[in-house]
Structure 1
Amino acid sequence: MEKSPQGRTETVTDMPDICEETVFEGARSILCVADPSVHSVRLAYRGPDGAVLGSVEKAVTALAAGGQTPIMAMNAGMYHADMTPVGLYVENGVEIAPLNEDDGFGNFFLKPNGVFFVREDGSAGVMETDAYLAAGIAPEFATQSGPMLLIDGAMHPRFLPDGTSKYIRNGVGVRADGKIVLAITRDRVSLGSFARLFRDVARCDNALFFDGAVSSLALSIHMEIDAGEPAGPVVAVFAKADH
């Protein structure tokens, strides 16, 4: 375990079967691929007592204490100072925060932004916000974030090829075969490079940015990359009981 210059904790542990390390455009990343036929992907935000969990570490600890130890987990959406989600958040079919179509400053509002959702049957998608609203989807889980990294294979129109704003970043994409790719970088990257990671390595047509600087990853209940910052919504991958 070591502290990076950014003050975040990194460990080097055996990767679960669904995750692999890669180096792309000179930056290290971890990509984890969930197959809805053998994995369940869920979002967590509040504990059994209704209190906001507040970090990836607390989320995986609470899930494990409830008998649901995840294969991996990461932060999955932006939040306000009071820890409420900035955009849409749905957990177990219950809408906790509404879809946000407002304009504003910051990455969330770098439109088009979008929604990652999981249906009751376990199938998942990433859609631009307006398209998601028009589709009338009733998700079991959903989190809105922004900006979209890829839209039908095309990079976000406002991205520079390699902008000067570089952070540890994480996000989600869905492949044409329905597999879900959760990615986090170990090194600082631009949004353009992160989008190309999803396009060229993860082979996703649609991908959504979750966050930067606060990005953290847990493998099982152990923190692999820990920014030491709060987290609102958390996405976790579990093995289905019959696999």
Structure 2
Amino acid sequence: MSTDNPMDPFAENPPRERQSRTLLFVILGILGALLVAGIVLLVLLLKTKDESASPGTSPSTATRLGTGTPVSAAPPASLASSSTTVAASQIPSSSAASSTAATPTTASSTAASSTAATLTTASSTAATYTTTTTPTATTSTPTMTTAAGPTFETLTTPMTEASCSMGGPGFDPTRPPVKVSWTSTKAAQAWFVQGTSDAADSGYMQIPVNGTQADFPFEIQFACGTDSSTYTITLVGTDGSHLSKSWTVQNTGDVF
């Protein structure tokens, strides 16, 4: 009895199943290679994009001191977003921020007002202290008492007289006149006398209140009989007061 059965449908199944598996492995291998190639290409593209965006050393990385290991300066996106979320959650509302901001402003203004008030008070106190302690300077104009009586503005006389001459054969003795000039103020009268007495009281000779010996009513000659002679002019003021001034003239000529 023969064991071969040409009509058995399962006689060729093992070879076909192996062929199908082989084909499936090949296809999976190709797909795996394509996937790996795609991933590598994607990585290369991303790396090329990063290098073109920031050539050289990336500013977002730094080298850890002593290790040489690059350290990212910027936090990861997840950490940044998390930090942003936390910071945003911790930000007070606009009203709270306004009130918070207003509080130091009020404190500052209050401190400034207090400081200004203190300074103002100090200034006022200093001003009061200065006013209290500083004596007020009182400028008083001295009252000039104007003399009611007469005064001599000028009185000019020679100190010597050399013209006295006893004369001689052929000429007479010479007696020079008294020489004097004067000016006065507030004088109603002026008087002249030889000697030192009050000329007005003596009533010897009244003269002008301003003038020279030429204004005498008559000539008064120098007393050549003495070594010197003294004369006096007395002023009588409008108030009746008297003012006298005397002078002495030395005789340097002949003495009679």
Q: How would you bin the TM-score normalised by the shorter chain?
A: under 0.3
Q: TM-score, normalised by structure 2?
A: 0.17
TM-score (norm 1): 0.17
Greater Rg by CA? 2
Could you say which structure has the greater relative contact order, defined with CA pairs below 8 angstroms and 6 or more residues apart? Answer: 1
Higher strand proportion: 1
